[in-house]
Amino acid sequence: MMINQSMRGVFAAALTPLLGDQTIDLDTLPGYLEFLAQRGCHGALLLGTTGEGPSFAHHERAELMRSALRVRQVAPDFGLLAGTGTPSLEETILNTRSAFDLGLDGVVVLPPYYFRMVSDEGLLSWFSRIIDRAVPEGGALLGYHIPGVSGVPLSIELISRLKDAYPTRFLGIKDSSGSPEHATILGSYFGHELVVFNGNDRLFSHALQAGAAGCITAMATLYSPDLRRVWDAHLAGAADPQAQARLDACRTILDRYPPAPPVLKALLSSRHHLRRWSVRPPLLDLPVDIEYLAAAELDQVENV
């Protein structure tokens, strides 16, 4: 399979800009995506975990995707993916169809995460209906493997069956398992026949060596220059252990301040002078004293 160039490289798991009244700051979004492009990102995933995707209704998702496309006025090659999965099959189909109708490059689809003890046969039927009804020829669907959050893993067997059934529309997965062993298994089983985006900054170099096509990570909002250094070194047949070490250290610190959206929104504002965005309940905005603690820890390792 020839991997589309829009499905390679460093992607940010983008934040969703929210005003104090919980509405989406549509006017600010394109500038934020331009900021990511200027700092080395090849693209962004909208409405993923970091983007609080499950907190938004269909019409809000469509408005956000439409606004995001304005980034291509200044960065025409910037890749745009959207998280479209919900527990509802019909809503997922609607979200997915909207993403392609608007002109996004692809979708990243969570499995239906309410019923957890389901079979591969059930998941195959679910994903097949989405692809059949919402993914056009030339469209790209990636499954979202994040079992620690969704509770529904995407097995190697399921991925293989979807790839065989839809070789031009099911392109691969976002692997947010956080497991180096799983990254190795994906590479050894599929090679470069599957698009794998690594979802854990600590594993980026390892995943690339195992055949990953790039990364989609929350930390790209703050640390895309280091992710890009790792990516560029990989393309040159080398490694950048210093950049990877900084990513390891920063990810370890940020993992102590979950969930990711509040702390990332606070640090993005204080460090890069973007508007301080809110989060949507059940998430809560980060208290300033906690922001100072996180920032102080990060300051100690960023210049190593």
Could you give the CA distance from residue 49 to residue 169 in angstroms, rounded to a whole number? 23
Is 166 designated active site? no
Is 144 designated active site? yes
From 16, 86, 144, 223, active-site residue: 144
Could you give the CA distance from residue 158 to residue 142 in angstroms, rounded to a whole number? 13
User: Which residues have CB under 8 Å from 105's CB, separation 6+?
Assistant: 4, 6, 7, 43, 79, 80, 81, 140
Short-list 79, 90, 82, 38, CA closest to 64? 82
Is 265 designated active site? no
* C-alpha 172: how far from chain center: 13
Short-list 139, 108, 94, CA closest to 13? 108
Phi, psi angle pair for 43, to nearest 5°: -175, -170
User: Which residues have CB under 8 Å from 20's CB, separation 6+?
Assistant: 278
Could you give the CA distance from residue 65 to residue 285 in angstroms, rounded to a whole number? 24
From 174, 223, 257, 265, active-site residue: 174
Is 217 designated active site? no
Short-list 290, 301, 293, 214, CA closest to 250? 301
User: Which residues have CB under 8 Å from 250's CB, separation 6+?
Assistant: 201, 219, 222, 223, 298, 301, 302
Active site residues: 49, 114, 144, 174
